[in-house]
Amino acid sequence: MSASRIVVCPHCHRPNRVPEARLSEGGHCGHCQFPLFDGAPVALTAASFEQHVGRSELPIVIDFWAPWCGPCRAMAPAFAQAARQLEPDFRLAKVNTEDEQALAARFGIRSIPTLMIFRGGREVARQAGAMDVAGIVRWARSSG
């Protein structure tokens, strides 16, 4: 029997079991039929955060940001490009700290942008400050 991983859909936020050998093929959600990987960061709310961090068996790189933050806006295209490079080995997501203040407080976000990597529901790495695409990819692969 081949190994599989739970991948949470970026659209409906429901878990899907995907054979590891077929992860690079992408696949579609068994519930909503949208692609499981679309090369773009997922915008998370408090509810979808719990689904992705708690249920997904992929490491998840989260950008805690705010719309008024200049460095956050400057890093956004690099983060999106990093998503295209890191999927399907990682899921990239964004949390708007203005809309999700409880999540920012829960994780002690003091400066933005702050990137965090979660694996198996636990924080495994944190990096404050804006980075370019190469920096994000290198940091995720070495930390996640």
Enumerate the active-site residues.
69, 72
Q: CB count, 10 Å around CB of 81?
A: 16
Q: Distance between CA atoms of 5 and 74, rounded to whole angstroms?
A: 33
Q: How many CB atoms lie within 10 A of CB 121?
A: 11
Strands (E) located in the chain:
4-8, 15-19, 42-43, 60-65, 91-96, 114-119, 122-128
What region, left, alpha or beta, does residue 33 occupy, with left being phi > 0 and alpha being psi -120 to 50 degrees? left
